[in-house]
């Protein structure tokens, strides 16, 4: 079974631009979560989608948004990029965001904002 994939793997943008990242979950997985990882900051939860609905949301500004499609693929968008948005963005999928649901991570998209 193919793992979680993310595209693109690397991205360089300038301040003020917007960016869209994509995540394809493991086949059959309906839940997709997004995390921001910066050095020394661990995994900061952005949001989680299940069956095309945002079910949980972290403490990030409205510039960060996402969506999930009927095939469970998910995208996240960051508008008006700031230097502090430079980070590794990880998505993770699980069978269902519920009882004992193992979560598997994608390789991440490394975003650099200049």
Contact region with other proteins (CB under 8 A), list: 13-21, 22-30, 73-81, 95-103: 95-103
| Residue 43 to residue 37: CA distance in whole angstroms | 5
Q: Is residue 45 left, alpha or beta, with left meaning phi > 0 and alpha meaning psi from -120 to 50?
A: beta
For residues 2 and 99, which CB has a smaller minimum distance to other proteins in the complex? 99
The answer to whether the CB of 74 falls within 8 A of the CB of 25 is yes
CA proximity to 86, closest of 7, 23, 13: 13
Stretch that binds other proteins, among 15-23, 68-76, 78-86, 102-110 (CB under 8 A): 102-110
Site for other proteins in 33-52 (CB under 8 A): 33, 35, 41-43, 45, 48
Choose the stretch contacting other proteins; rule: CB under 8 A; options: 8-16, 19-27, 64-72, 100-108.
100-108
In this structure, the number of other CB atoms found within 10 A of the CB of residue 43 comes to 14
Task: Kindly state whether residue 105 participates in binding other proteins, applying the rule CB under 8 A.
Answer: yes
Q: Exactly one of 7, 14, 38, 56 binds other proteins (CB under 8 A); which one?
A: 56
Minimum distance of other proteins from residue 106's CB (angstroms): 6
CB 6 within 8 A of CB 19: no
- Per the document, the length of the chain is 114
């Amino acid at each position: 079974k193919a793992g979680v994939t993310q595209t693109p793997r690397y991205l360089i943008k300038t301040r003020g631009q917007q960016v869209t990242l994509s995540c394809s979950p493991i086949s059959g997985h309906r839940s997709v979560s997004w995390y921001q990882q910066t050095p020394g900051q661990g995994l900061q939860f952005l949001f989680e989608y299940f069956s095309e609905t945002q079910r949980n949301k972290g403490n990030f500004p409205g510039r960060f948004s996402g969506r999930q499609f009927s095939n469970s693929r998910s995208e996240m968008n960051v508008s008006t990029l700031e230097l502090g948005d430079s980070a590794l963005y990880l998505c993770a999928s699980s069978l269902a965001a519920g009882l004992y649901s193992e979560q598997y991570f994608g390789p991440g998209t490394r975003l650099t904002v200049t």
